[in-house]
Amino acid sequence: MTSPQLWAISDLHLAYEQNRRLFETLRARPNDWLILAGDIAEKLADLERSFVAATERFARVIWVPGNHELWSMDDAPELRGQAKYDAVVALARKHGVLTPEDPFPRFATSSGARVIAPLFLLYDYSFRPPEVPDDGAIEWAREAGLMCSDEYRLHSDPHATKTAWCHARVEDAERRLSAISEPTVIINHFPLRYDLVFLPAIPRFSIWCGTRLTESWHTRFRAEVVVSGHLHMRGTRHIDGVRFEEVSLGYPRQWRGEDINVYLRRIL
Ligand SMILES: [Fe+2]
Ligand SMILES: [Fe+2]
């Protein structure tokens, strides 16, 4: 028996029929673990189907929310902000999927265990040039014709703002990560650093992509690999000797072929 492997994919966007059909081609790897790094779907029924399919095929499944999971949708309009997050966490747990609310699992490798740290950190509009003031970030994006649907669909209740929610999440994650002494794999839907945000067609979309509070976490918390999605710009980067994996599938125009397995990224 070969040793277990850790795989990741994000941004399945199962609201699209083409993406749902592609996801059906997910192959079973009964010894391996799978990370679903957010933007799987907006609606609870689609999320539940993905959790069932993934847990049938993998030994262990780990999920972190993307912004799309947090949208308030017609299927459950009363679920806003934290309540929507809590509902998806409950759904994940019902199917044995690990979430950012669970103890960090350990993944054994030939060179020792890695602590797998699924996080939910959101964004605080700080991925912007220094001359753009905090309260002018959205206007700065709007000047370039950009607006993120999150501004209408992702509510922060009961937190005063998304920034406040983000900062509370960052503080909690920082506390949990500080208690670990082993090497880690950090998973967050949003990239941990501004210099990872490569969006040549829509550079000002960066304000909806992360927080500068996490720029040093890859070294500070001894990450071997940092896994993220959100950008729909698949790729591998190395910074300070740490591997950063952007593992998005993306919208139907952003992938090709008939086999989702080629889009799974090997993490460990
Ligand atoms: Fe996405
Ligand atoms: Fe996203």
8-state DSSP, 206? G
Residues near ion ligand 2 (CB < 5 Å) are: 39, 66-67, 230
The pLDDT-based confidence of 19 (bands split at 50, 70, 90) is: very high
Ligand sitting nearest the alpha carbon of 154: 2
Distance in angstroms (rounded) separating the CA atoms of residues 8 and 267: 7
Ligand sitting nearest the alpha carbon of 65: 2
Cβ pair 170, 213 in contact under 8 A: yes
Ligand sitting nearest the alpha carbon of 249: 1
Both tokens assigned to 147: 């607006």
Gap from CA of 32 to ligand 1 centroid (Å):
24
Q: Report, as an integer, the average pLDDT of 196-214.
A: 97
Gap from CA of 195 to ligand 1 centroid (Å):
19
The pLDDT-based confidence of 25 (bands split at 50, 70, 90) is: very high
Question: Which pLDDT score is estimated for 136?
Answer: 96
| Rounded-to-10 torsion of CA 74, 211, 217, 236 | 70
The H-assigned helical ranges of the chain are 17-23, 44-57, 82-94, 137-143, 150-153, 162-178, 217-220
Q: Which CATH superfamily does the domain covering 6-266 fall into? A: Metallo-dependent phosphatases (3.60.21.10)
Gap from CA of 179 to ligand 2 centroid (Å):
28
Both tokens assigned to 41: 């779907």
**pTM exceeds cut of 0.95:** yes
Ligand sitting nearest the alpha carbon of 189: 2
- Tens digits of per-residue pLDDT, 62-115? 999 999 999 999 999 999 999 999 999 999 999 999 999 999 999 999 999 999
For residue 221, pLDDT over 70 is answered with yes
Question: Which pLDDT score is estimated for 192?
Answer: 98
Instruction: Please provide residue 238's backbone torsions phi and psi, each rounded to the nearest 5 degrees.
Output: -125, 125
Gap from CA of 248 to ligand 2 centroid (Å):
9
- Tens digits of per-residue pLDDT, 47-66? 999 999 999 999 999 999 99
The ranges assigned to domains in the chain are 6-266
39 CB-side CA count, 13 A:
25
Question: Which pLDDT score is estimated for 177?
Answer: 98
For residue 26, pLDDT over 80 is answered with yes
Gap from CA of 111 to ligand 2 centroid (Å):
33
Question: Which pLDDT score is estimated for 153?
Answer: 97
Q: For residue 190, which of 209, 215, 214 has the smallest C-alpha distance? A: 209
Distance in angstroms (rounded) separating the CA atoms of residues 127 and 208: 8
For residue 226, pLDDT over 70 is answered with yes
Q: Report, as an integer, the average pLDDT of 242-248.
A: 98
Gap from CA of 161 to ligand 2 centroid (Å):
18
Residues near ion ligand 1 (CB < 5 Å) are: 11, 39
Compute CA 234 distance to the chain's CA centroid, rounded to the nearest angstrom: 13
Distance in angstroms (rounded) separating the CA atoms of residues 188 and 4: 22
For residue 2, pLDDT over 80 is answered with no
Compute CA 47 distance to the chain's CA centroid, rounded to the nearest angstrom: 14
Gap from CA of 228 to ligand 2 centroid (Å):
10
Gap from CA of 234 to ligand 1 centroid (Å):
11
- Tens digits of per-residue pLDDT, 143-176? 999 999 999 999 999 999 999 999 999 999 999 9
Gap from CA of 40 to ligand 2 centroid (Å):
9
Gap from CA of 126 to ligand 2 centroid (Å):
16
CB-based contacts of 247: which residues, under 8 Å, 6+ apart? 8, 9, 10, 35, 37, 227, 228, 229, 234, 263, 265
Q: Report, as an integer, the average pLDDT of 33-38.
A: 98
The pLDDT-based confidence of 1 (bands split at 50, 70, 90) is: low
- Tens digits of per-residue pLDDT, 132-146? 999 999 999 999 999
Gap from CA of 226 to ligand 2 centroid (Å):
16
Mean pLDDT of the chain: 97
Compute CA 116 distance to the chain's CA centroid, rounded to the nearest angstrom: 14
Distance in angstroms (rounded) separating the CA atoms of residues 169 and 120: 7
